[in-house]
Amino acid sequence: ETGVTQSPTHLIKTRGQQVTLRCSSQSGHNTVSWYQQALGQGPQFIFQYYREEENGRGNFPPRFSGLQFPNYSSELNVNALELDDSALYLCASSLSTAFQDGYTFGSGTRLTVV
């Protein structure tokens, strides 16, 4: 399978709830990163996973957590949702952690917290 797919495409949650977003990477891509993109802003780095271990993290609180699975899928979990968590969440995968290989982004999950 080619490309990066994310599900769901849209989601509405209530403040205080928990949410799980899913990503299916390209076959063979052992590195996955998650980004948060607020409206009108560039994506902000949340964290990166390499071979199922977190190996880099941005300035996001611990209520943002992730998992990467051996089948090239991954999850982003957010607990205790806040209104400011409303954004487009992007998953990006790569053959390795080397940036020269290029990161392939999915189309994202748009999360709205009300």
Partner 1 sequence: QKEVEQDPGPLSVPEGAIVSLNCTYSNSAFQYFMWYRQYSRKGPELLMYTYSSGNKEDGRFTAQVDKSSKYISLFIRDSQPSDSATYLCAPVDMGRRALTFGSGTRLQVQP
Interface ranges with partner 1 (CB under 8 A):
4, 33, 35, 40-45, 48, 55-58, 90, 92, 97, 99-100, 102-103, 105-108
Measured torsion, CA atoms of residues 78, 36, 61, 5, in degrees rounded to the nearest 10: 40
Separation of alpha carbons 11 and 27, rounded Å? 26
C-alpha separations of 77 from 44, 64, 96, 98 in Å: 16, 6, 23, 25
Q: How far is the CB of 15 from partner 1 (least distance, A)?
A: 25
In the bound state with partner 1, the residue whose beta carbon lies nearer, of 39 and 114, is: 39
Q: How far is the CB of 55 from partner 1 (least distance, A)?
A: 6
In the bound state with partner 1, the residue whose beta carbon lies nearer, of 16 and 56, is: 56
In terms of C-beta distances under 8 Å and separation of at least 24 residues, what long-range contacts does 48-52 make, across chains too?
A: 48/97, 49/74, 50/97
In the bound state with partner 1, the residue whose beta carbon lies nearer, of 83 and 99, is: 99
In the bound state with partner 1, the residue whose beta carbon lies nearer, of 58 and 65, is: 58
